[in-house]
Structure 1
Amino acid sequence: MQSAFDSLAADSLAVADSLALADSLRADSAVVDTSGGIGGLSQDVGVAAEALGSGRFEDAASILAASLKAFAFDNLLPAAITALAFWIALRILLGVLRRALGRSKRIDAGVQQLILRFSRFVIVALAVVAVLDKIGIAVAPFIAGLGIAGIALGFAAQDTVQNLIAGITILLDRPFHVGDNIELHDTFGTVEEITLRTTRIRTLDNQMAILPNANVISDRIINHSMLRALRVLVPFGIAYKESPEAARQVVLALTEGDQRLHPDYAPAVVVTELADSSVNMELRLHLKDSKLEVSLRLEYQEKVFEALKAAGIEIPFPHLQLFVDEAKAFQGSRLLGPGPEADAGG
């Protein structure tokens, strides 16, 4: 045991002697900055290089070994512990935030993602600053340089910055949520994701429309899912000789017992237009679930056609009737029937 203490004491004295020698060589080389950290290590490397150039190989080796050992224990080890502490804090913080945000029904999923990403960015930025400080790197000039670079980047990427600001506005204003059916820029579909730069909409053709947020907030947005009941219109037409009331009874019978319809709004059939070839009517339905909008409208369009056909109510289509008056050039042709010669022969 005594020999082990003697060996440790000898190592300590050797390190002290090497550091003292390094300080002496720094003084000889007119190096005045002895701040330690990565700066002190670089200075010691320079001093060791000078000693090596002077032929003092043992001195150079001892200076370099002592400096590396001091840097490892005084800087690298605290930096590693600091990084580990921030990593643990980040995992705990994100876990707590996810649970808290998951229980909240007032915070949209997009806003939750924004909060999580911002929290992760802040923790990582603080961790980088703390680790760099432990290593001995001056952080203040670096931050100042980032500020200048950020200003230059902001001017160079105005569209991107505009989209980011628009994304934050969408997440805070919440004109729509993930899962809503919206109509935007002549695009109808379901909102799949809201990021800081773009809004992604899955169309009826199962295509993904990716729209810049700056364009999203500057155009009219029709949200089909915001209110508690969505009205669906099913247009159809009947011939002028048919009774609108008879058609109304036939069509309304199709809606009886449909649990997908909102109980607070009764289905209705109204006349919307007296067109050239038909009496245009409309079946108006209110849905409990707006996600059924497209499928239910298509379903009732077919049901209305089959029901009117089964009831003998004519569904007209545009047609043209031609009347020819005093068309002597066509006399005797097949267009106007048998001519006078045919009548005389008969």
Structure 2
Amino acid sequence: MDLEKWVDKGIEFIADFGPKIIGALLIWIIGSWVIKKMMKGMSHVMNKNDYDESLKKFLISLTSWILKVLLILAVLGTMGVETTSFAAIIAAAGLAIGLALQGSLANFAGGVLILIFKPFKVGDLIEAQGELGVVKEIDIFTTKLNSPTNKLVIIPNGTLSNGNIINYSAEGKLRVDLTFGVDYGSDIKLTKDVLMEVLTSNPKVLKDPAPMVAVSELADSSVNFAVRPWANVADYWDVYFETIENGKEALDKAGIEIPYPHQVEIRKEA
């Protein structure tokens, strides 16, 4: 008699929960297959767009976990388990974590944006947040620069991604801006020819775009010439300092005077 009772209860249980269990298993199998295909497609897209390897792994792992949590909630809901409380707990935990890690999350979001949109890459010379340096490393939370004086500069990605960024390496060429002042009695054409010869004789100065020398200002005590050579990024400082030194020597050799500031003192007799 007891056996028949247990058999009846078993049949009743199977009738009630069998379809739900089968449905839950089907949802789990199909959902897992879909998630696997989505992750494979996501990885393919990231590889095609040359995403940073660390960012690619992180985004794939994060997306996979989110989809799996949603799949588990769907399976539990199919089996008749109330998932509203689970969703509320997850939302509350997410809010608490977000408030506790507000600054870190901002830096994380900034790092993701930098790694996705790539305003600069490792090895680029950039200026940002009042700092100038070569990009040494791009992490999820910070970006590290080597300054011209070989100091390590660490900038949080949150502020970096929200501020102005000057990438000196992006175009591959830089214009060197210099100004030479000569005496008002100097011959303008001769001065331009001497300075242009300094530029064209330097192998580090690019021929395209062509260098330029032009009168830029009639100052108080000098005629100022704008000297504009172009150089590769790696040669920028060499061209800058060599042009100053060679320009001074060439002007001296040509007898063209570089004036210095004069001060006139007027005394009133008693």
Shorter-chain TM-score range: 0.5 to 0.7
Is it true that 1:164 corresponds to 2:105 in the alignment?
no
1:120–1:193 CA distance, 2 compared to 1 (3 A): same
Deviations 1:94-131, CA, capped at 9 Å, x for gaps: xxx8xx96xx7x626xx2331144457789999xxxxx
* Among 313, 319, 328, the residue aligned to 2:269: 328
Q: SS in structure 2 opposite 1:235?
A: strand
Distance 2:58 2:166 in 1: 29
Letter in 2 for 1:217: S
* Among 141, 146, 155, the residue aligned to 1:197: 141
* Among 158, 174, 181, the residue aligned to 1:214: 158
CA contact 1:238–1:316 (8 Å) conserved in 2: yes
Letter in 1 for 2:240: R
Q: SS in structure 2 opposite 1:161?
A: helix
TM-score, normalised relative to structure 2? 0.67
Equivalence map 1:174-189=2 (5 Å)? 174-189=118-133
Letter in 2 for 1:247: T
In the alignment of these two chains, the number of paired residues is 211
Deviations 1:16-68, CA, capped at 9 Å, x for gaps: xxxxxxxxxxxxxxxxxxxxxxxxxxxxxxxxxxxxxxxxxxxxxxxxxxxxx
Q: SS in structure 1 opposite 2:265?
A: coil
Who is 1:154 aligned against? 98
Letter in 2 for 1:300: T
Distance 1:195 1:143 in 2: 32
TM-score, normalised relative to structure 1? 0.54
Equivalence map 1:50-65=2 (5 Å)? none
CA contact 2:211–2:229 (8 Å) conserved in 1: yes
Q: SS in structure 1 opposite 2:161?
A: helix
Q: SS in structure 2 opposite 1:227?
A: coil
Is it true that 1:113 corresponds to 2:54 in the alignment?
yes
1:144–1:194 CA distance, 2 compared to 1 (3 A): farther
Letter in 2 for 1:158: Q
CA contact 2:196–2:212 (8 Å) conserved in 1: yes
Q: SS in structure 2 opposite 1:262?
A: coil
Letter in 1 for 2:248: F
Letter in 1 for 2:252: K
Is it true that 1:275 corresponds to 2:216 in the alignment?
no
Distance 2:186 2:119 in 1: 45
CA contact 1:181–1:291 (8 Å) conserved in 2: no
Who is 1:62 aligned against? none
Who is 1:315 aligned against? 258
Equivalence map 1:185-264=2 (5 Å)? 185-264=129-208
Question: Unpaired segments of 5 or more residues in structure 2?
Answer: 1-39, 68-82
Who is 1:296 aligned against? 239
Deviations 1:285-322, CA, capped at 9 Å, x for gaps: 112x2122223212211111121122221111212112
CA contact 1:230–1:286 (8 Å) conserved in 2: yes
Runs ≥4 in structure 1, deviation > 6 angstroms?
Answer: 120-126, 140-147
Who is 2:30 aligned against? none
Distance 1:212 1:193 in 2: 12
Question: Unpaired segments of 5 or more residues in structure 1?
Answer: 1-92, 127-139, 330-346
Give 1:233 deviation, angstroms: 1.2
1:192–1:328 CA distance, 2 compared to 1 (3 A): same
Q: CA RMSD in A?
A: 3.0
1:148–1:318 CA distance, 2 compared to 1 (3 A): same
Letter in 1 for 2:50: I
Letter in 2 for 1:296: V
1:180–1:254 CA distance, 2 compared to 1 (3 A): same
Distance 2:246 2:50 in 1: 41
Q: SS in structure 1 opposite 2:120?
A: coil
Distance 1:283 1:112 in 2: 44
